Amino acid sequence: MSALLSIRDLAVAFRTEAGRFEALHGLSLDIPRGRTLALVGESGSGKSVTAQAILRILPRSAEITRGQMLFGADGETVDLARLPEEGPAIQAIRGRKIAMIFQEPMTCLSPLHTVGDQIGEALRIHTGADRRESDARTEEALARVGFPDPKRALKTYPFELSGGLRQRAMIAMALILKPALLVADEPTTALDVTTQAQILALLNRLQDETGMAILLITHDLGVVANIAHEVAVLYRGRLVEAGPKDVVMRHPGHPYLKALIEAVPRFDMAPGERLTPIRPAKAEIPPQREAPRLAGPILAVEGVSKTFTLRAGRLFAKPRTVRAVADVSLRLEGGRTLGLVGESGSGKTTVSKMVMRALAPDAGRILFDGGAGPQDVHAFSGEALFAYRRTVQFVFQDPYASLDPRMTVRQILSEPMEIHGVAHEERRRRCRELMAMVGLEAGALSRYPHAFSGGQRQRIGIARALALEPRLLVLDEPVSALDVSVQAQILNLLKDLQTALGLSYLIVSHNLAVIDYMADTISVMCRGRIVEEAPRAALFRHPVHPYTRALLAAVPDPSLDHPLDMAAVTGEASDPSRWEAPFRLAPDETGAMVEIEGGHWVRHTAADARRAA
Amino acid sequence: MIPAILRRVLTMAVTLLVISALVFFVIKLPPGDYLTNRIMELRATGDAGSIAKAELLIRQYGIDRPVWQQYLMWVGLMPGPGGFSGLLQGDWGWSFEYDKPVADVVGDALWLTLLVNLTAVIFVHLVAIPAAIYSATHRHTAGDAVVTLLGYVGLAVPGFLLALILLFYANRWFGLSIGGLYESSLTNRPWDGEKIRSLLAHLVVPTLVIGLGGTAAMIRRMRANLLDELAKPYTVTARAKGLPPTRALLKYPFRMSLNPFVADIGNLLPHLVSGSVLVSLVLSLPTVGPLLLEALRNQDQFMAGFILMFVASLTVVGMLISDLTLVWLDPRIRMGLR
């Protein structure tokens, strides 16, 4: 049987101010019927352009310059590349025979229309179904993708749903007409690991049920290893490798794919093993002043809680409250790294904001030791607070949003030093030094952020955080917004800086592999509480708490020998009342931490904790 | 939902009260008032009868009382000495300049003002929305350039100048009388068919002139908003579903781009009233704009106060309308109210 979609010598070019730029140079690719083809590559490799070209939804500035896309479904073959872009022929194929899901489930659904309206729309325009019929079919589709209450979901708006449910709604929308081909552009990149595993399991099941083909676009080799049948690797607009998954992943031929596999943090790495970045950053770190020797930890969070009040809807109604952080304690030794892991909404970012003194805790203390003994961060004022701001710095998740596009790199790096009164000459010297430290050319100081790639921008962000010679860096998802191929580069840079400067890191992430690579001790947070904390090796070798185990089980491993257990991923891991004894907690129960081996603490029910003690 | 509206109405009332205080004290800020100035003038000429009448008015409207009492009387929270009952009771006071009750002076001007300006608002939207949609979807084409150029011309040409030019040609080509909202011979006629026909013919020029600047500004803003929304992923999703382009455009990005304009309704109404004073003067339109200007110059306090309060009420009511429309249009705001 012939392929469902045969792409032959496809070239796509963009018109830019600098002239024509060819994003795809003669791509040839077959998407087999009923199978999943993973298209792998870094940003700019042309993988999203391929997806847009198939549906003919390329941006206005792009055009297909040559090639064919032969799509053979229902006994007839059309060349998608020949159809007029806004004609009825392609409109009849979009959504009916080829459907697409996107990376950001929030921005891909209109916030002004109900989920039911948006899902049923494809049905109404392609089959002329009336409202009642489309609602009935939509309800079925929602049930099929695992909505808990499909009837009610028809009338909900996207912003009332969690990220995972929104992506399920997108899938329901794409699949309502049972298309022959589903194009999935990074469908799980914006989701938590546990949600990602559920969505992958769902795609697998739906493929078995409907026999559709999937073109999966991703940069995550873990996802590829778990659901693809075939793999194609794109590099700078060219196909560099293609074939069955087993062959390609086990015996990568092209140096780019080999390098990509080396660059991803894995759980089975030897202690002290370094990642091999595809493009290493050459950092020159000058010798620094000696860090003060501390008697205790540099940062101690003691029983911190934070409750947020939501605005009351009615005139005299009692305001609702959300407990974001409940009785959290952490210890970070000087020069070490503490990893804070949890799903979105677990309270980890709130904790980091309280450490930064951007939020005040309702209860508990945060003690920081800058060399003069532990002091309560939230008791600082005036001079002491100003000095604290200097010693604790923040690295943001999104390197695109965290740098002002109207400031040059020099201005960006100088601003914190200006605020803290560093002399002009010293600022200029320090700027050059900082650029060398993060492996960038000093000549780039006069350029603006848009001239840099994501990884380079993140290095600028790190340089800015280092400008004032801080002792503690708070890293909030430092590589989540970056390509896999540059993640290794940033992580290695952070490690080198830590060794050379004696920095302490508090790293917040939902990516367990990153935490595993970076952290010395790890705390796992769920619903505002720490449920397990342990030294790195102990936690990953011997996870005890059901939530930690669920998190670990949900991480797709790039090696083919550890497939995800698709049957085991459910959404129940973050519900304390569903944990097995002795971990099960009633809705208002706190439980207590129990030490099961040296430094390895797990939260048990209080009764059980007393028995253990 | 209903408690939220009640809360809004309550804050509206408080807002209006605060505005009334501000309006009154600002009017009273310059030294003297219309009547005392007038009495001084009359003393110079020695017209005893007129002096007595002016002094009677002073007592009747309590202008010899302290300012705060005058304010309370004007608003209608305190009974006036000579049967003056205040705004809340529907007594808008006396225009000293015209020597008539304010209600009689303002009369037709109020609803003609509303008529002229609402026509202008409708004109702005009818022209600007299609032009902006065309301009945004045909970005960087000749058509877009023409719309943009016309928009800039509309922004740059002063309204009164355009009014003069249009008046000249309207008279030359269509034989319309110059100025006014109806033939001057019909001034004292009741509103019958002929007068209404005359009114409609005379509305064309003021609508064009008053609306043009707003149209140009709205095309620019709407085009920018739409271009932002057109680049959003949900627009791509709609295309990927197979929606025809026009339907996809109107259902998703266009609806999203409406929000800022709906939120602007409250500002639009008073801006059109105060912004069209010059045009009203040039076209000698019987609207409240010129009356306000004159009343302020002559310290005709009840007249000025009433017109300012009228504009303020338009603003506040406009705000309520835009808030309620937003609640209806945007579920995110609706859910926020629950």
* Cβ pair A91:B243 closer than 8 A: yes
Q: Give yes or no for a contact between B294 and B215, defined as CB atoms under 8 angstroms apart.
A: no
Closest CA–CA distance from residue B198 to any residue of chain A (Å): 44
Residue A311: band (very low, low, confident or very high) from pLDDT cuts 50, 70, 90: low
CB atoms within 10 A of CB A433: 17
Residues of A in contact with B244 (CB under 8 A): 88, 91, 125
Q: B137 and B268, same structural domain? A: yes
Q: Which two tokens stand for residue A566?
A: 């698709």
Number of Cα atoms under 13 Å in the Cβ half of residue A267:
20
Complete DSSP assignment for A552-570:
HHTSPPSSTTS---GGG--
Examine the pLDDT at B338 and tell me if it is beyond 80: no
Q: How far apart are CA A134 and CA A111, in angstroms?
A: 20
Q: Tell whether B273 and B152 lie within a shared domain.
A: yes
User: Does B140 contact A at CB distance below 8 Å?
Assistant: no
Predicted confidence at residue A8, as pLDDT, reads: 94
Determine which of A107-111, A353-357, A509-513, A544-548 has the lowest per-residue pLDDT on average: A509-513
Residues B24 and B165 in one domain: no
Query: What local confidence, expressed as pLDDT, does residue A299 receive?
Result: 93
Report CB contact under 8 Å: B338, A313. yes
- d(Cα A437, Cα A439) in Å, to the nearest integer? 6
Chain segment B127-166, per-residue pLDDT in tens: 999 999 999 888 888 989 998 888 888 888 888 888 888 8
Q: Compute the distance between CA of residue A471 and CA of residue B181 in angstroms, rounded to an integer.
A: 76
Look at residue A1 and tell me whether its pLDDT is greater than 60.
Answer: no
Minimal Cα distance from B137: which residue of A?
Answer: A60
Closest-CA residue in chain B for A92?
A: B242
- Please name the residues in contact with A308: beta carbons below 8 A apart, sequence gap of 6 or more: A321, A322, A324
% chain A with pLDDT above 90: 40
Chain A residues in contact with B237 by the CB 8 A cut-off are 100, 102, 108-109, 170, 173
Phi then psi dihedrals of residue B55, to 5 deg: -65, -35
Q: Which amino acid is at B29?
A: L
Say what the pLDDT of residue A424 is. 92
**What is the Cα–Cα distance from A206 to A401, expressed in whole angstroms?**
36
DSSP string, B37-102: HHHHHHHHHT-HHHHHHHHHHHHHTTTTS-HHHHHHHHHTSS--TTS---GGGT---EETTTTEEH
CATH code of the domain covering residue B187: 1.10.3720.10
Contact A159 B338 (CB under 8 A): no
Shortest alpha-carbon distance between residue B294 and chain A (Å): 45
Are residues A104 and B241, on separate chains, in Cβ contact within 8 Å?
Answer: no
Q: How far is CA A581 from the centre of its chain?
A: 32
Q: Are residues B295 and B169 in the same domain?
A: yes
Question: ipTM exceeding 0.85?
Answer: no
Q: Does A116 touch chain B (CB under 8 A)?
A: no
How much is the CA Rg of chain B, to the nearest whole Å? 25
Among A112, A170, A182, A320, most B C-beta atoms within 10 A, so best to mutate, is: A112
Residue B208 inside a domain? The answer is yes
Q: By residue range, what is the domain housing residue B107?
A: 103-300+319-333
CA A369: distance to chain centroid? 32
**What are the φ/ψ torsions at residue A325 (nearest 5 degrees)?**
-140, 130
Residue that the structure tokens 């792409």 belong to: A7
Region of residue B180 (phi > 0: left; psi between -120 and 50: alpha; otherwise: beta): left
pLDDT at B335 over 80: no
B199 and B255 housed in the same domain: yes
Q: Determine whether A6 is exposed, middle or buried from the number of CB atoms within 10 Å of its CB (0-12, 13-18, 19+).
A: middle
Which DSSP string do the residues of B129-174 spell out, in sequence order? HHHHHHHHHTTTSHHHHHHHHHHHHHHHS-HHHHHHHHHHHHHHHH
**Is residue B170 located within the same domain as residue B292?**
yes
Residue pair A228/A37 in contact by the 8 Å Cβ criterion: yes
B305 within some domain: no
- In a 13 Å sphere around the CA of B197, the CA atoms on its Cβ side amount to 3
Full-model pTM: 0.81
**Domains in chain A, ordered, with CATH?**
32-53+86-263 (3.40.50.300), 299-542 (3.40.50.300)
Mark whether B249 and B324 lie in a shared domain.
Answer: yes
Assess if residue B310 is contained within a domain. Answer: no
E strand or H helix at A324: strand A321-332
Same-domain check for residues B276 and B259: yes
User: Which positions in chain B touch A83 (Cβ < 8 Å)?
Assistant: none
Cβ atoms B87, B20 nearer than 8 A: yes
Which two tokens mark A1? 């049987």
Task: Search chain A and give the residue with CA nearest B244.
Answer: A91
Calculate the alpha carbon distances from A401 to A39, A353, A396, A414, A539 in Å: 28, 18, 9, 18, 34
Å between B330 CA and nearest CA of chain A: 6
Residues B255 and B292 occupy one common structural domain? yes
The pLDDT of residue B337 is: 60
Whether A451 contacts A469, CB under 8 Å: no
**Residue A470 near residue A434, CB atoms below 8 Å:** no
> Of B101, B122, B141, which residue sits at a domain end?
B101
The per-residue DSSP string of A588-612 comes to T---EEEEEETTEEEEE-HHHHHHH
CA distance A47 to B195: 69
Q: Tell me how far apart the alpha carbons of residues A521 and A515 are, in angstroms, rounded to a whole number.
A: 9
Average pLDDT, chain B: 83
Is residue B309 a part of any domain in this protein?
Answer: no
pLDDT in tens, A321-334: 778 898 899 999 98
Catalogue the E-assigned strands of A17-93. Answer: 19-31, 36-40, 62-73, 76-79
Is there a contact between B256 and A110 if contact means CB atoms under 8 Å apart? yes
Q: A366: part of which helix (H) or strand (E)?
A: strand A363-369
Least CA distance to B331: which residue of chain A? Answer: A112
Determine contact, residues A585/A578, Cβ cutoff 8 Å: no
Q: Which of A79, A46, A45, A49 is nearest to A62 (CA)?
A: A49
- Which residues in chain B have their CB less than 8 angstroms from residue A161's CB? none
B282 contacts B82 by C-beta, under 8 angstroms: no
Residues 156-215 of A with CB under 8 A from B: 157, 159-160, 170, 173
Helix (H, G, I), strand (E, B) or coil at A474: strand
pLDDT higher for A98 or A268? A98
Task: Please report the pLDDT score of residue B22 as a whole number.
Answer: 93
Q: Which of B8, B234, B252 to mutate: most A Cβ within 10 Å?
A: B234
CB contact under 8 A, A125 and B242: yes
In a domain, residue B308? The reply is no
Domain-embedded: residue B338: no
Closest-approach residue (CA) in chain B for A108 = B234
Buried residues in A509-537 as b, exposed as e (16+ CB within 10 A): bbbbbbbbbbbebbbbbbbbbbbbbbbbe
- pLDDT for B78 equals 80
Cβ pair B240:A112 closer than 8 A = no
d(CA B221, CA B212): 14
Crossing angle of helices A484-501 and A255-263, in 10° steps, is 50
Q: Contact A54/A64 with Cβ under 8 angstroms? A: no
Do B157 and B277 reside in the same domain of the chain? yes
Task: Give the residues across from A395 on adjacent strands.
Answer: A475
In this structure, the number of other CB atoms found within 10 A of the CB of residue B301 comes to 25
Last residue of a domain, one of B56, B76, B101: B101
Chain A residues with beta carbon closer than 8 angstroms to that of B233: 102, 104, 107-108
Which residues in chain B have their CB less than 8 angstroms from residue A113's CB? 251-252
Q: Which residue type is seen at B155?
A: L
- Taking only residues 36 to 65 of chain A, the set having a beta carbon closer than 8 angstroms to any beta carbon of chain B reads 55, 57, 60
Q: How far apart are CA B292 and CA B302, in angstroms?
A: 11
Is residue B58 in some structural domain? yes
β-sheet bridge partners, residue A230: A37, A244
Number of domains in chain B: 2
**Looking at the predicted structure, is the pLDDT value of residue A572 above 90?**
no
pLDDT tens-place string over residues A458-467: 999 999 999 9
Query: Does a structural domain hold residue B313?
Result: no
**Using one digit for the tens of pLDDT, what is the confidence trace for A364-381?**
999 998 878 888 988 888
Q: What is the pLDDT of residue A329?
A: 92
pLDDT for the residue B91 = 82
Encoded amino acid at B160, one letter: F
User: Which residues of chain A lie closer than 8 angstroms to B332, CB-CB?
Assistant: 111-112, 157, 159
User: Which pair of structure tokens corresponds to residue A7?
Assistant: 């792409």
In B, minimum Cα distance to A110 occurs at: B234
Q: Is A283 helix (H, G, I), strand (E, B) or coil?
A: coil
Euclidean distance between the first and the last CA atom of chain B, given in angstroms as a whole number: 7
Among residues 236-275 of chain B, which lie with CB inside 8 Å of chain A?
236-245, 247, 251-252, 255-256
Burial (0-12, 13-18, 19+ Cβ within 10 Å), A555: buried
Query: In this predicted structure, what is the pLDDT of residue B277?
Result: 77
In A, which residues are within 8 Å of B331 by CB distance?
111-112, 114, 157
What is the distance in angstroms between the Cα of A51 and the nearest Cα belonging to chain B?
11
Q: Which residues contact B214 (CB under 8 A, 6 or more apart)?
A: B120, B121, B124, B128, B268, B272
Q: Hey, CA dihedral for B4, B7, B11, B13, is it positive or negative?
A: positive
Give me the half-sphere count of Cα atoms (radius 13 Å) on the Cβ side of residue A601.
Answer: 20
Do B126 and B205 sit in the same domain of this protein?
A: yes
| Residue A124 at interface with chain B, using a CB cutoff of 8 Å | no
Which residue is it, tokens 């028995």? A611
Does residue B40 sit in the same domain as residue B123?
Answer: no
With b for 16 or more beta-carbon neighbours within 10 A and e for fewer, the A320-347 pattern comes to eeeebbbbbbbbbbbbbbbbbbbbebbb
Structure tokens at A155: 């009338």
For residue range A551-570, what is the model confidence (pLDDT) as tens digits? 888 888 887 888 887 777 76
Mean pLDDT score across all residues of chain A: 87
Domain boundary among B54, B77, B101: B101
Q: Which residue has the higher pLDDT, B54 or A366?
A: A366
Exposed/middle/buried for residue A366 (C-beta within 10 Å: 0-12, 13-18, 19+): buried
Nearest-CA distance from B226 to chain A in Å?
14
Count the neighbouring beta carbons within 10 Å of the beta carbon of residue A265.
21
